[in-house]
Amino acid sequence: MAEKNYTIPINEEFDKYDGCPLCRLHKRFEQHSLEYVMGAAMMEPDVRIQTNLTGFCRDHFEKMLAMGNRLSLTLMLESYLNELDTKFKVAASSSKKNYTQAVRVVERANDGCFVCERAAQTLTALARNVAYLWQTDASFREKFAKQEFFCLRHATLLLRISEDELGVKNAPSFAHAVAEVARKGLDPARDKVSRFCKSFDYRYATDPLGDAAQAAEDAIAWILGDKI
């Protein structure tokens, strides 16, 4: 079992019964990561090494710009751009033997994101803690079952960690509980999509669309979860 460090924030979010609780936890710890990297950690050598290695995705660059701390951001960018210059020089001068590795180093700096990766690691630990609470705390199992839904992304995460965290004996019961909550989002999405598709059949042409007018948007929102 994973070390249990996140029971307080998990219970706080599972007490809200509004949307996917793991989406809210993801947002919460994503914001912590942004504040961390834009604060004093920006000057820590080990953090600078990691940000030079991975960079940031477009979404998190935009969020850091919106935070207003231009000095921290530009200090990080100065180090990141200097490191990129070195990596391009290595790629340009590499031999056949080490060319592939040199290119992969550049790709890592372009495709990675310090905040995404840090938040994903934290969310996996959170998911393990959710499974632990579900197994050990009857009151939490009740809260778990009453959640509005789990989005596909986070239901999949819970299922993925279930066997490692709970073992072969208990994982199937947990998977059943996860699926029951996930279907609370899946079933309405399926119904709206079906009604929208039927509206193009002449037999249903006069039926009001109602909330099915947003069928595609609502289905995608359930599949992907809240925008992080």
Predicted TM-score of the model (pTM): 0.82
Give the domain ranges of the chain: 7-224
Question: pLDDT confidence of 1, banded at 50, 70, 90?
Answer: very low
CA-CA-CA-CA dihedral for 56, 61, 67, 73, to nearest 10: 70
Model pLDDT for residues 10-38, shown as the tens digit of each residue: 999 999 989 999 999 999 999 999 999 99
34-43, 107-116, 159-168, range with greatest mean pLDDT:
159-168
What integer best gives the mean pLDDT of the chain?
90
Q: Residue 89: how many CB atoms within 10 A of its CB?
A: 11
pLDDT band at 5 (very low <50, low <70, confident <90, very high): confident
pLDDT (tens digit, 9 = 90+) per residue, 64-116? Answer: 999 988 998 999 999 999 988 988 888 888 777 788 887 888 888 788 899 99
Highest mean pLDDT: which of 32-41, 94-103, 137-146, 201-210? Answer: 137-146
> ∠112-113-115 over CA atoms, to 5°?
155
